[in-house]
Amino acid sequence: MQDMLEIRWHARGGQGAKTAALLLAESLMGEGTYVQAFPEYGPERMGAPMRSYDRISSKPIRLHTSIKNPDVVIILDPSLLADPSTLDGLKEDGIILVNTVEDPKTVREKYNIKGRKIYTLNASQLAQEELKRDLASVPMLGALIKVTGLTNLEDFLAHIRKELERKFAHRPEVIEANLKLYQRAYQEVKSE
């Protein structure tokens, strides 16, 4: 891993970006990695645009600011791509991961994106199929693990299983549906 990987999540309030950023950080902490995860809100209301952040490093992290030049931008609501500031500061060799029905080439052309690596996943549909709810943040974590190689899928799933067992011990079907969703996302994320 490079010294530090910075991830900026773009979503709307209630889509789970804050929870996903925290879950990612927690899953990587167990591997001896230094992490930060925190949200940034505009107007605090359901549906309002918001950002969450992850910093992941092999060394102690001394920064405590929002992320201006991310390595990865994750977009849970594809309508946010219409705002050019969504990609502000993204490094030229950066990664864009979008929850959308469109393929990466279409996203590139539609939003006139130059450079960068684009990955897409219809995370909303996958979540509907497995969880019966549009929790796009859940499969986007599986896709993120695939496109960044931050950790291996087995270690990530083992951590997630422990977390879910604490919360849903009485509902094993919820645990299995979530794990299946992460695996599907890991396998079905599309690249150019």
The whole-number pLDDT of residue 3 equals 84
Axis-axis angle for helices 17-29, 153-167 (nearest 10)? 110
Domains of the chain, first to last: 4-191 (3.40.920.10)
The whole-number pLDDT of residue 45 equals 65
The whole-number pLDDT of residue 14 equals 87
The whole-number pLDDT of residue 35 equals 96
The whole-number pLDDT of residue 48 equals 82
The whole-number pLDDT of residue 136 equals 93
Residue spans of alpha helices (H) in the chain: 17-29, 104-110, 123-131, 137-148, 153-167, 172-188
C-beta of residue 35 within 8 angstroms of C-beta of residue 29: yes
The whole-number pLDDT of residue 49 equals 87
Cα(136)–Cα(138) distance, integer angstroms: 5
Report the side by side order of strands in the sheet with 34-41: 34-41, 49-57, 4-12, 72-75, 95-99, 117-121, 190-191
C-beta of residue 140 within 8 angstroms of C-beta of residue 97: yes
Cα(27)–Cα(30) distance, integer angstroms: 6
The whole-number pLDDT of residue 29 equals 87
Q: From the first residue on, what is the mean pLDDT of each consecutive set of 10 residues in the chain (192 residues)?
A: 87 91 89 89 73 95 94 97 94 97 97 96 96 93 96 92 91 94 97 91
Residue 4 is classified by DSSP as E
The whole-number pLDDT of residue 42 equals 65
| Cβ neighbours for 117, distance < 8 A, ≥ 6 positions apart | 93, 94, 95, 96, 147, 191, 192
